[in-house]
Chains A and B, each alone.
Chain A
Amino acid sequence: MLSKVLLKKDWKQVSLLWILLVFLGIVAFTVPVWTDMYAYEQQILEIKQNPSDFPDIVTGDVNEMVPEDFFGDGSGYGYLGGLNGLIPSGGVIFLFVIFGALMASVLIGSERNSQMSDFTMSLPYTRTQLYISKWVLGATGIVTSTLIGGTLMFLIIRFSDYSFLMEGKEFKVIAMILFLMLSGISFFSLSLWMGSFGGESISQVIWTFVALIFPMGILLLVQGSLYAFFPDRLFSFVDEAFESIPMRILSPLNNIFNVDMYSVYTDQSVWNDFITYAPILAIANIVLTFGLGLWMFKEAPQENNGRFFMFSSWLWLIHIVIVICFAMLGGVLFSVISYPQNMILYVIGFVIAAFLAHLLAKRLLYRFNLKLKS
């Protein structure tokens, strides 16, 4: 199923980004750890020079204190920080979101922009093989980046003066590294799926951005709209949905936001919740986005390359969704001008935003299509 030739062809297109991803992955995993350790050193030095300024920490002879003494307060966080501050999950996720979208847009979107897509489709390979090759190449970039960067990060902590922070928690750190890797693959997989129907690279990036925020965004808009009509009532379904399994499968960002990165290494119940759900739901997201992407890539009408949305028979649906979402956003923004929220202002905002969104959708879906195609 996987063709070495296609991997070689796709490598030619994406090699620079792939190498850059691996390099930046190493940087994202390791540099913050060095920086944090340097900051710890500086703070310890300051405490040692001015022990009287830190009576809470320095209870005996400051010269006899070891690094561990500056962290241990029993809570797990410590005075200077903890393992949670040392693991640079935020930076790594940010890198994977950006590079996932970039690599996917080079692998599919920019091919569609040029004649490369026609060339590829005329080769003696099935569309399934073409898609799998692209997916494997992107996923291996994230895996390589994580394995090298994560291993280096682990070793740096392990052999530093602050290794005590990780003592007994090695498995948790490894699990977190693997979770970051799965999340990275799910970002890339989502973006590649967007390329299966976004007709060129810019469209693909826009669709990726929309897909990242859409699941939660639509719920927040519905909640905001309900508050405009019923300001005295409490709607908790958004909070429930935010933590729900379907929503965590639909949105990789949501899955990450549901992990309490501060307590995961210290609070056993948080850890149990994390290890039970987060990695499995990330895998579920990968399976879902890969499956949908493959199916849509196979079905996408190649003659619509260069268009914002390639399935032209479904443009009406996209048009309606754009208008409704922007209308609700307009309504919510207008309704919060007054307190409590005003229903009439909501309706005014809804109508104005719906009209503007209709114009935008017409331009984006129809005129913009033709412009790109030409």
Chain B
Amino acid sequence: MLKVEQLSKQIDRQTILDGIDFTVESGEIVALVGRNGAGKTTLLRTMVGIIRPDQGDVLYGTKSIFKDAGLKRDVIFVPDSADALKHYTVNEATDLYESIYPSFNRSAFRETLTRYNIENKKIRQLSKGQKALVTLSLAFAVQAKYYLLDEPTDGLDVVAKSDVLKLMIAQVEKRNCSIIVSSHQLHELERIADRIIMIESGRVKAIMSLEEARALSIKWQVVFNDHVPVELLERKDIEIISVTGRVVLFMAKERTEELETFIDSYNPMLIEEIPMSLEDVFRIQLGGEAHAV
């Protein structure tokens, strides 16, 4: 089990992480979501011991990552670009990983290379998608217990994204490892994540399953008899997505009785609840000041 305990970090007198606290169980895929600058990358870098926290700890099992560097044999951090290994050829990178990690499975890595038809070139000469596949495949071939992935599908085309996601799912199914993945590609996280950790201004805003996340907020399409009431459009606790004639589509941060009573008071012709995507949840929960209650 991975346990993040009251992690706090200030950089340039600004609080980047503020009492972050959560656990990740074996075999879980946890999505780390939050707006740009929320502290996701700093959190991942701290979790692997690159950055030291001002307060708090990160425990893998019972051991602190800051006290036992050997733990990192089972904790692999994959940053959002393959720049670190750009001067290496694929084979050289394989040799390097094999010499660092005794558990490295060369044949599993070769298999991935063959499947995706990746040649032994310098990593900087590979396409963006190939780079992502190589770095992830290298990481997964280590057969570690924990993976911290920072924007693994950023900038990839649809096919490459799908391949990366398949790789991640396959690892969890095969080896029961834990993956903590930070991404802005919410519709993809939706497909793979067991739980979501929402980060806002360095704090954990919410930890929930996808179902819980969807249930937290509402997305309604309401058809009124006459016109869309101005009072509804002026409400601060909802986000209007569209208004077409008598039809309004909006999201609300929370399902409240007051809101339901308010809508009912206008005797609408139809109220339809639209399923919320993770992107909708993200937008209404973390959309920023403009959408705050």
On A, residues with C-beta under 8 Å from B are 4-5, 8-9, 12-13, 114-116, 118-126, 129, 301-304, 312
A106 nearest CB across to chain B (Å) = 12
Query: Counting CB contacts under 8 A, is B214 at the interface?
Result: no
B69: A residues at CB distance < 8 A: 124-126, 129
B87: A residues at CB distance < 8 A: 12-13
Query: Counting CB contacts under 8 A, is B45 at the interface?
Result: yes
Q: Which residue of B lies closest to A127 (CB)?
A: B69
10 residue pairs of the A-B complex, CB under 8 angstroms, read A5-B99, A8-B96, A12-B87, A118-B45, A118-B50, A123-B72, A126-B69, A129-B69, A302-B52, A303-B9
Since A5-B100, A9-B96 are in contact, a sample of 13 more A-B pairs with Cβ atoms closer than 8 Å, ordered by chain A residue number, is A4-B99, A5-B96, A8-B96, A8-B99, A118-B45, A118-B84, A119-B85, A121-B49, A122-B48, A123-B72, A124-B101, A125-B69, A303-B51
Query: Counting CB contacts under 8 A, is B245 at the interface?
Result: no
Query: Counting CB contacts under 8 A, is B92 at the interface?
Result: yes
A123: B residues at CB distance < 8 A: 72, 100
Q: Which residue of A lies closest to B74 (CB)?
A: A124
Q: Which residue of B lies closest to A116 (CB)?
A: B84
On B, residues with C-beta under 8 Å from A are 9, 11-12, 42, 45, 48-52, 69-73, 75-77, 79, 81, 83-85, 87-88, 92, 96, 99-101
**Contact in complex: B52, A301 (CB < 8 Å):** yes
B68 nearest CB across to chain A (Å) = 9
Checking B73, B75, B83, B92 against A114 with a beta-carbon cut-off of 8 angstroms, the contacting residue is: B83
Q: Which residue of A lies closest to B78 (CB)?
A: A122
Checking B50, B71, B75, B83 against A121 with a beta-carbon cut-off of 8 angstroms, the contacting residue is: B50
**Contact in complex: A122, B11 (CB < 8 Å):** no
A39 nearest CB across to chain B (Å) = 44
Question: How far is it, in angstroms, between the C-alpha of A349 and the C-alpha of B100 when the chains are bound?
Answer: 57
Question: How far is it, in angstroms, between the C-alpha of A4 and the C-alpha of B71 when the chains are bound?
Answer: 19
Question: How far is it, in angstroms, between the C-alpha of A312 and the C-alpha of B49 when the chains are bound?
Answer: 20
Question: How far is it, in angstroms, between the C-alpha of A8 and the C-alpha of B98 when the chains are bound?
Answer: 12
B51 nearest CB across to chain A (Å) = 5
**Contact in complex: A122, B72 (CB < 8 Å):** yes
Question: How far is it, in angstroms, between the C-alpha of A303 and the C-alpha of B85 when the chains are bound?
Answer: 20
A9: B residues at CB distance < 8 A: 96
Question: How far is it, in angstroms, between the C-alpha of A303 and the C-alpha of B45 when the chains are bound?
Answer: 9
**Contact in complex: B84, A119 (CB < 8 Å):** yes
B88: A residues at CB distance < 8 A: 12
Question: How far is it, in angstroms, between the C-alpha of A9 and the C-alpha of B77 when the chains are bound?
Answer: 18
B155 nearest CB across to chain A (Å) = 15
B73: A residues at CB distance < 8 A: 124
Q: Given A8-B96, A12-B92, A121-B49, A116–B83 Cβ distance below 8 Å?
A: yes
**Contact in complex: A312, B50 (CB < 8 Å):** no
**Contact in complex: B83, A312 (CB < 8 Å):** no
**Contact in complex: A119, B79 (CB < 8 Å):** yes
**Contact in complex: B50, A302 (CB < 8 Å):** yes
B76: A residues at CB distance < 8 A: 122
A121: B residues at CB distance < 8 A: 48-50
Q: Which residue of A lies closest to B73 (CB)?
A: A124
A12: B residues at CB distance < 8 A: 87-88, 92
A77 nearest CB across to chain B (Å) = 51
**Contact in complex: A115, B84 (CB < 8 Å):** yes
A129: B residues at CB distance < 8 A: 69
- Specify which of B50, B81, B92 lies most central, judged by the most chain A CB atoms within 10 Å of its CB: B50
Q: Which residue of B lies closest to A8 (CB)?
A: B99
**Contact in complex: A124, B72 (CB < 8 Å):** yes
A125 nearest CB across to chain B (Å) = 6
B83: A residues at CB distance < 8 A: 114-116
A119: B residues at CB distance < 8 A: 79, 84-85
B64 nearest CB across to chain A (Å) = 13
Question: How far is it, in angstroms, between the C-alpha of A122 and the C-alpha of B97 when the chains are bound?
Answer: 12
Checking A116, A125, A301, A312 against B51 with a beta-carbon cut-off of 8 angstroms, the contacting residue is: A301
**Contact in complex: A122, B99 (CB < 8 Å):** no
Q: Given A9-B96, A12-B88, A312-B12, A122–B50 Cβ distance below 8 Å?
A: yes
Checking A13, A115, A125 against B81 with a beta-carbon cut-off of 8 angstroms, the contacting residue is: A115
Q: Which residue of B lies closest to A126 (CB)?
A: B69
Q: Which residue of A lies closest to B88 (CB)?
A: A12
